[in-house]
A = this chain, B = another copy of it.
Amino acid sequence: MTFTVGVIGGGQLARMMVPPAIALGLSIRVLAENEGSSADIAATAVGDYRNVEDVLRFARGVDVVTFDHEHVPQPVLRALVDAGVVVRPGPDALQFAQDKILMRRRLSELGMPVPVWAAVSSAEQLDAFIAENGGAAVVKTPRGGYDGKGVRVVRSGAEAADWFEAVGELLAEELVDFRRELAQSVARRPSGEIVAWPVVESVQRDGVCAEVIAPAPRSAGRLADVAESVAVAIAEGLDVTGVLAVEMFETTDDRLLINELAMRPHNSGHWTIEGSTTSQFEQHLRAVLDLPLGATGGREPWTVMVNVLGGPAGESLDARFVSAMAEHPMVKLHGYGKESRPGRKVGHVTVAGDDLDDLVYQARAAAAHLAD
């Protein structure tokens, strides 16, 4: 018998689960949206993750179903569970990653540190929230947002009028005055074992993760302890299995406030492939299979990851890899097998070592080669 993991979604997160599955001798199958997906090498089916039949057919014979993304509708998830399929994370946990209002409500109930927030259903309600919170608000559509999509900073309710019309209820949050953004990943097994990687600093540009420094500079001690304890409490409180990434604000008055959650491997954890003893992708497979978890320490004092965003449409990464390889023999290059489009995440680079300034320089330079 070989353990078999089924992954719904054929994006780069599914792709990056394949190497550790190969290493561990696990079998991995992917339900991709289309032919030629990023995770093509492991795609055993092409289908619609919103279609119960497609998903049930795919799930036959796998030991556990897990995810490349959090968009599988609740009815589909419930149908899987009803059919006896093991789904990790389960629907009860995933709903909090799917709906930001549910998430904020549940985290508030758990006493977790979140920004001031409200569910608002009209421009008037939003105006009232803005008036109470310093004259501005971050407004988010509860569902479907990612990489800065579905997020808007507003100074009046009217600026979200189109969203009220299209979506109905929105999440309003205080505009947090933050020093930097951090991300804390943990992995949790159904049997309860839970491990945490070092907290990292995540540099965002235009709402998209651009760079990650692991561990977050000047995080040793209280900051790391609080970040870890918050992520552990969320994983346990929401009964998350697999990897949970918690994006946080480090406020200018030295608090940590929870921004977003992801119940899967996350961009802020790509550094773990080379930078940690156990990568988030290996750990996710171990966790959803309820296997003992691996060590999560950093392998070098510092690891820096820089995303590669797509440049000119249609051009492949290959030619650019040559110059990046030639000039940066220490940097590890990752391509996602995706067609390049402006702003699209098509790869990332990672470099680990002792001298943070030098690593940041190298990683940025290598990524610039690839993105040119």
Contacts and interface: CB of A to CB of B under 8 A. Distances in A.
Interface of A: 1-3, 15-16, 18-19, 22-26, 41-42, 273, 277-278, 286, 291-295, 299-300, 316-318, 321-322, 325-326, 329-330, 332-337, 347, 352
Contact of A292 (B300, B316, B322): B322
Contacts of A336: 25
A199 to B, nearest CB: 20
A316 B2 CA distance: 7
A295 B330 contact: yes
Contacts of A352: 299
Which 8 residue pairs across A and B have the least CB separation, nearest first?
A25-B335, A19-B19, A292-B326, A292-B325, A295-B329, A295-B330, A294-B329, A25-B337
Nearest to A28: B41
A278 to B, nearest CB: 8
Contact of A325 (B22, B294, B325): B294
Contacts of A337: 2, 25
Contacts of A26: 335
A338 to B, nearest CB: 9
Q: Among A25, A26, A42, find the residue whose CB has the most chain B CB atoms closer than 10 A.
A: A25
Contacts of A292: 322, 325-326, 329
Contacts of A293: 325, 329
Contacts of A1: 316, 318
Contacts of A326: 292
Given A16-B22, A23-B335, A25-B334, 12 more contacts: A18-B22, A22-B41, A23-B334, A24-B333, A25-B335, A25-B347, A277-B329, A277-B330, A292-B322, A293-B325, A293-B329, A294-B330
A26 B317 CA distance: 10
B318 A3 contact: yes
Nearest to A330: B295
Contacts of A325: 286, 291-294
A93 to B, nearest CB: 23
B300 A25 contact: no
Contacts of A347: 25
Contact of A334 (B24, B299, B318): B24
A347 B294 CA distance: 18
Contacts of A22: 15-16, 18-19, 41
A86 to B, nearest CB: 16
B295 A23 contact: no
A16 B329 CA distance: 21
B317 A25 contact: yes
Contacts of A273: 23
Contacts of A318: 1-3, 25
5 contacts: A3-B318, A19-B19, A25-B337, A292-B325, A294-B329
A333 B23 contact: yes
